[in-house]
Amino acid sequence: MVLSALLLSTGVVSTPLPAPTGIPTTAAAKTELAALTVAAQGSQDGYSRDLFPHWITISGTCDTRETVLKRDGTNVVTSSACAATSGTWVSPYDGATWTAASDVDIDHLVPLSNAWKSGASAWTTAQRQTFANDLTHPQLLAVTDNVNESKGDSGPEDWKPPLTSYWCTYAKMWVKVKSVYDLTITSAEKTALTTMLNTC
């Protein structure tokens, strides 16, 4: 059950939003964006989510999803199998607050298919596994499940977080992930990211 929508109409959220590690400064993101290779998106041919092994074991019985749920939530209680049995999650994309882990998805900020079409098709399975379970860079976030579904495989040229105040952070994270993994961007993607960074 959603507890609050937190002033969605104004694009302002009073509750602190969770933040993964590795978010660059605005200046660093602009520099990284300028250095990214602009190219037409590659083919979707051969793509499968199975080529990006995800939710691997991180520690003990905890997999990547469970690790992010604990990182991004508050007062998270887990079972002996590491499943989140209670807690509170604020989705940075829309500012909604959730108390059931089943209402929360772990989003790959740069979608797996987007990565495939911008360079990951040439990677090894091990490289794709690293990308799909990356807890070092800002690639994984706990977000409202239906908002994640509305995003789908879209890049920032086609989808932006409903919470406009998050556009700056979203763009900085997107640029960082593309930069770390040397993935290409399209011209439309670069334009959208530039616009979003200008809100910082």
Q: What is the pLDDT of residues 106-139, one digit of tens each?
A: 999 999 999 999 999 999 999 999 999 999 999 9
* In a domain? residue 16: no
- pLDDT class of 4 with cuts at 50, 70, 90: very low
* In a domain? residue 5: no
Q: Is 197 exposed, middle or buried (0-12, 13-18, 19+ CB in 10 A)?
A: buried
**pLDDT in the model for residue 2:** 35
- pLDDT class of 15 with cuts at 50, 70, 90: low
pLDDT higher than threshold 60 for residue 1: no
Give the SS3 label for residue 158. Answer: coil
Span between the terminal Cα atoms of the chain, in Å: 32
* In a domain? residue 190: yes
* In a domain? residue 14: no
Give CA torsion, residues 26, 174, 8, 72, to 10 deg. -100
* In a domain? residue 137: yes
pTM of the entire structure?
Answer: 0.91
Q: Which residue has the higher pLDDT, 164 or 7?
A: 164
The count of structural domains within the chain is 1
Which residue range forms the structural domain that includes residue 138? 23-197
Reported as a single tens digit per residue, the pLDDT across 147-197 is 999 999 999 999 999 999 999 999 999 999 999 999 999 999 999 999 999
**pLDDT in the model for residue 17:** 76
- Average pLDDT, stretch 35-64? 96
* In a domain? residue 191: yes
* In a domain? residue 53: yes
Of the candidates 79, 114, 77, 104, the one whose C-alpha atom is nearest the C-alpha of residue 3 is: 104
- Average pLDDT, stretch 15-31? 88
**pLDDT in the model for residue 19:** 76
* In a domain? residue 134: yes
**How many whole angstroms separate alpha carbon 17 and alpha carbon 92?**
6
Taking only Cα atoms into account, the Rg of the chain, rounded to an integer number of angstroms, comes to: 16
